[in-house]
Structure 1
Amino acid sequence: MTAYQISTGLAIYFVLWWLTLFLTLPFGVRSQHEDGVGAPGTDPGAPVLARMGRKLIWTTIISAMIFAIGMWAYYAGYLSIERLSKLMGMPF
Structure 2
Amino acid sequence: MSWATGVMVYFVIWWTVLFCILPLGVRRVENPGRGQEHGAPEKPDLIRKAIITTIVAAVLWVGFYVLHEADFFSFRRLEGS
TM-score by length of 1: 0.77
1:32-91, CA deviations, whole angstroms, 9 ceiling, x for partnerless residues? 1xxx23222311111110000110001001110110001011111212222xx4xxxx85
Point out where structure 1 has 5 or more consecutive residues left out of the alignment: none
Give the Cα separation in 2 of the matches to 1:15 and 1:41.
35
Matches within 5 A, 1:65-76: 65-76=59-70
2:55 aligned residue: 61
Gaps of 5+ in 2: none
Q: Alignment RMSD, CA only? A: 1.7
1:20 equivalent in structure 2: 17
SS at match of 1:57: helix
Tell me the secondary structure at the aligned position of residue 40 of structure 1: coil
1:54 is paired with a residue whose SS is helix
- 2:37 corresponds to which residue? 43
Q: State, as a whole percentage, how many aligned pairs show the same letter.
A: 34
Q: Which has the higher helix share?
A: 1
When Rg is computed on C-alpha atoms for both structures, the one with the higher figure is 1
TM-score normalised by L of structure 2? 0.87
**Shift, 1:16, TM fit:** 1.0
Match of residue 8, structure 2, among 8, 11, 30:
11
